[in-house]
Structure 1
Amino acid sequence: MYVLCCHISVMSVLFSGSIKADTGPKEQAVLHDIVKQISPDNIEKDITKLVSFGTRHTLSETKSETRGIGAARRWIKAEFERISRACNDCLEVYFQAKTISGEKRIPDATEVVSVIAVLKGKTDPSRYVVMSGDIDSRVTDVMDFTSDSPGANDNASGVAGVLEAARVLSQYSFHGSIVFAALAGEEQGLFGGKIMAEQAQKDGWRIKAVLNNDMIGNISGINGVINNTTARIFAEGTRQNETEKQARKRRFTGGEVDSPTRNLARYIDRMADDYIPNLDTMMIYRLDRFGRGGHHRPFNDLGYPAVRIMETNENYNRQHQDLRTEDGIKYGDTLDGVDFDYAAKLTALNAVSLAGMAWAPNPPVNVAIQGAVKPSTTLSWNAPKANEKTIIKGYKIYWRLTDQSQWQYSRYVGNVTQYTLENIVIDNYFFGVASVSHDGFESPIVFPGDAGSFGQ
């Protein structure tokens, strides 16, 4: 028996209409179209091809055309180039490499080579959102670079998702730039992510989001749960590069759960609700799984908003395992452990999130808040830069009760740089501001102060 119950909020009564329920961003038909174009067949084909290289271990063969990490990365680059040719060379495709040595898992000099494809924005090309997956694979012994290591789910699924998102999104033109990254060296120490993050910082990339996809194809968990309707978004709280002065201020103004990474997670969670059928995302307030890591972390280390998107129920018998059968249990990360429809669903979530942010204006800059010992709350932010003035329609203020994970209320306030919410007390809520385009695309929501800033 199912019991339906209704909950009637008393908020509108208490505040005499000053608060109205948040209806969220305007629904966009083009994002539904993007979801429909994501192909499970393409993802299956790409995962199968990546598995065919035998092993993609960082220290494996680089000269062969059919086996090892060298063959795999050359194939990925060729795929990006093929996608680019189909969109009149709209992608900038290149290898990003650095020689690593003297590390515990890379003792001898080894070139760590990632594959990057950039779809440049038309009006704000220095603003970037990134989707990444990891090329390399491994077996039980992290230093074993010769044994077969299919890495079908971990993480051919993530790379296949990146390739498919590139195929679909390259058909469109965006205000901001979108980066599709197949990163190397993850299993040996997150080296591909470190190399890319450091180079992005050096080159002045204004990164607003990194969506790291690491294992997006398994629906059958070690816990016995089979579920293709949920996914996890891991998002750390306080910014890693926060200064002591910023930490002291945050103690009195809040922001522990409103870092740009957390508000990026809320943005993706909202996209799942609005555009991805039968998918509910869990926002997990942690950098990664307990005591573990992923390629979003090097970006977090430098202060960039970055999350990990992945399956909900992991199967550890298929992760980092030698191929074998023991006591009737099959071990190893093989193709039969991947649900291609589910991988397509998570790829679609990435695609609409990237598109929504790239079509939206830059998140508001220098958001500030006032209202101590006052009956009302005032928020302010910088005026848009010259290249954004034709994009921005205005701004939207969001707020929520402090024990709520998702934004509850909102008000569109027009193309202004300051607005006062009358009779809404600053002490009782968390607040944020989003930029809104003329066609209704919204940026991620920015919490006031350094704790929530997405940068310039």
Structure 2
Amino acid sequence: MRKTICVVVMFLSLSISAQKVNTDPEISRYVGQVSKDSLKANIEKLVSFGTRHTMSSTTDPKRGIGAARNWVLSKFRNYAKNSNGRMEVYLQHQDLKPDGKRINKETNLGNAIAFLKGTDPNDKRVIIISGHLDSRVSDVMDAESFAPGANDDGSGVAAVIESARVLSKSQFPVSILFVAVSGEEQGLLGAKMLADKAKAENWELEAVLNNDMIGNNSFDAGKTAGKPKLRVFSEGLSAFDTEKTAAAIRNLGLENDGSARQLARYVKETGEKYVKNIDIKLIYRNDRFLRGGDHTPFVNHGFTAVRLTDYFENYDHQHQDVRTENNKKFGDLIEFMDFDYLKTNTAVNVAVLANLAKSASKPESVKMDVKELSNSTKLSWEKPTSGNIKGYHILIRETDSSVWTEKIFTTENSITIPSSKDNFLFAVQSVTDSGNESLPVIPKISR
């Protein structure tokens, strides 16, 4: 028995080392195609519309939210030419009546969307990358003043457009939806419209990457801040966990292992594997205090969604009238952007999208045997419903660790690990021939 345990521990160590250097050349190629110049040009164009306030003009060809969303659609249509007919471009929209809150006149709400259909007709999974198109000044109801919205959220929209450009030629089995939503500053209205549609139509929504302010770092980070940081906000327990389910989660110590937390860990591991010079920080909250993001309507419907955002926020350069006071500039101006940082964060999105879109679906019926007391752990599972796999990763971490620290590869559908289920947490993920991993699945209890 002692010899067997030593061999397995050695195998764990080797698998960790191998994982750090095991990258998919296709994904690395996509990551390398992200262009700082392209991102900067996108931001410059977005700022040129003067304001992108949700209640600004939808008919003026040069100024306002309508001109901006038409331009985004034109970019998507241009990239759709690379997709062999698989990219559908359209405007999801609806007319809003005054609501007594942040909509004070009839408004046409519109989301600019490019849907890149997956190559596997039997795989219905969808991944969403989003940023919000609308901008604002100090008064959230001011639809006329200059509201450049360079970082908030021109940066997120630029990342969405650039991701669509880079991935438009891909042949992923899974579908990707690229969307510039509107109405974020007026109450997450565009994201709710899309999330409601996904819920009503029973989309197999695998993950949502919401990018909101990902382009300002160097102007706010201190000299000793070290490597650039990107925050990923994720909720703990799903809003759809019933009282009974929540009680079981607490009993098993899985408060930190909801689907959003698994996606956040996936973003960190995948992003840092493919992109240099970024420290992805896991923030265990759904969002910042006193703020909200477009991932939240998806979270509220029980979908797996996270928010990516700057680590260092500068409140002088968001939600501010453009002005100078006491020789200090206020406003979300392009001069306060950090385009190297934006390029890095966009590359993180591309890596995560590609890895997920190339992955098989998650393993089914993952279970942990607790029928008897032991210092080992037996796991079992069934093969995924879609995708071609070469095997599975067994993920292991201590209960107080924020990330998975060990991996075991197996081609079997069960495994016994010489680590106590009382001391460690486990998950299982599918792995394709090219090494693309599914999102992890925490085992249920088998008695």
Instruction: Give the alignment's TM-score, normalised by structure 1.
Output: 0.91
1:267-278 alignment, distance < 5 Å: 267-278=266-277
User: How far does residue 339 in structure 1 lie from its aligned partner after superposition?
Assistant: 1.4
**How far apart are the structure 1 equivalents of 2:305 and 2:29?**
26
Asked whether the equivalents of residues 220 and 314 of structure 1 are also in contact (C-alpha less than 8 Å), the reply is: no
Match of 2:420 in 1: 425
**How far apart are the structure 1 equivalents of 2:226 and 2:105?**
42
**How far apart are the structure 2 equivalents of 1:265 and 1:355?**
16
1:299-448 alignment, distance < 5 Å: 299-371=298-370, 373-385=373-385, 387-388=386-387, 391-416=388-413, 418-421=414-417, 423-448=418-443
Query: Which secondary structure does the structure 2 equivalent of 1:330 belong to?
Result: strand
Match of 2:207 in 1: 209
User: How far does residue 255 in structure 1 lie from its aligned partner after superposition?
Assistant: 1.6
User: How far does residue 147 in structure 1 lie from its aligned partner after superposition?
Assistant: 0.4
Asked whether the equivalents of residues 231 and 311 of structure 2 are also in contact (C-alpha less than 8 Å), the reply is: yes
Query: Which secondary structure does the structure 2 equivalent of 1:186 belong to?
Result: coil
**How far apart are the structure 2 equivalents of 1:80 and 1:60?**
22
Distance 1:86 1:35, change over 3 A: same
- List runs of 5+ in structure 1 lacking aligned partners: 1-11, 451-456
Distance 1:78 1:426, change over 3 A: same
Q: Which amino acid aligns with 1:94?
A: Y
Query: Which secondary structure does the structure 1 equivalent of 2:105 belong to?
Result: coil
Q: Which amino acid aligns with 1:211?
A: L
User: How far does residue 415 in structure 1 lie from its aligned partner after superposition?
Assistant: 4.3
1:15-414 alignment, distance < 5 Å: 16-19=6-9, 20-21=12-13, 22-23=16-17, 24=19, 26-101=22-97, 102-123=99-120, 124-220=122-218, 224=222, 229-371=228-370, 373-385=373-385, 387-388=386-387, 391-414=388-411
Q: Deviations over 1:169-188 (max 9, x none)?
A: 11110011111111110000
Asked whether the equivalents of residues 31 and 350 of structure 2 are also in contact (C-alpha less than 8 Å), the reply is: yes
**How far apart are the structure 1 equivalents of 2:141 and 2:394?**
51
Q: Which amino acid aligns with 1:33?
A: R
Asked whether the equivalents of residues 221 and 314 of structure 1 are also in contact (C-alpha less than 8 Å), the reply is: no
**How far apart are the structure 2 equivalents of 1:373 and 1:70?**
64
Q: Deviations over 1:367-407 (max 9, x none)?
A: 2222362232122233332x43xx12221111111111111
Distance 1:222 1:27, change over 3 A: closer
**How far apart are the structure 2 equivalents of 1:240 and 1:214?**
22
Query: Which secondary structure does the structure 2 equivalent of 1:262 belong to?
Result: helix
Distance 1:125 1:15, change over 3 A: closer
* Most deviating of 298-307 and 366-375: 366-375
**How far apart are the structure 2 equivalents of 1:137 and 1:448?**
43
Asked whether the equivalents of residues 220 and 227 of structure 1 are also in contact (C-alpha less than 8 Å), the reply is: no
**How far apart are the structure 2 equivalents of 1:442 and 1:448?**
17
Aligned residue pairs, count: 434
Distance 1:228 1:338, change over 3 A: farther
Asked whether the equivalents of residues 227 and 313 of structure 1 are also in contact (C-alpha less than 8 Å), the reply is: no
Q: Deviations over 1:69-117 (max 9, x none)?
A: 0110111111100110133333111111123331500133322100111
**How far apart are the structure 1 equivalents of 2:257 and 2:346?**
25
RMSD between superposed Cα atoms in Å:
2.0
**How far apart are the structure 1 equivalents of 2:154 and 2:227?**
18
Q: Which amino acid aligns with 1:300?
A: V
- List runs of 5+ in structure 2 lacking aligned partners: none
Q: Deviations over 1:120-153 (max 9, x none)?
A: 1112541011110000000000000000100001
Distance 1:449 1:328, change over 3 A: farther
Query: Which secondary structure does the structure 1 equivalent of 2:111 belong to?
Result: strand
Q: Which amino acid aligns with 2:153?
A: N
User: How far does residue 58 in structure 1 lie from its aligned partner after superposition?
Assistant: 0.3
Distance 1:219 1:360, change over 3 A: same
Q: Deviations over 1:328-350 (max 9, x none)?
A: 11000111011112111100000
User: How far does residue 223 in structure 1 lie from its aligned partner after superposition?
Assistant: 6.8
**How far apart are the structure 2 equivalents of 1:47 and 1:365?**
43
**How far apart are the structure 1 equivalents of 2:391 and 2:126?**
21
User: How far does residue 303 in structure 1 lie from its aligned partner after superposition?
Assistant: 1.3
Asked whether the equivalents of residues 162 and 182 of structure 1 are also in contact (C-alpha less than 8 Å), the reply is: yes
Instruction: Give the alignment's TM-score, normalised by structure 2.
Output: 0.93
User: How far does residue 305 in structure 1 lie from its aligned partner after superposition?
Assistant: 1.2
User: How far does residue 60 in structure 1 lie from its aligned partner after superposition?
Assistant: 0.5
Distance 1:223 1:348, change over 3 A: closer
**How far apart are the structure 1 equivalents of 2:68 and 2:193?**
19
**How far apart are the structure 2 equivalents of 1:241 and 1:426?**
26
Match of 1:7 in 2: none
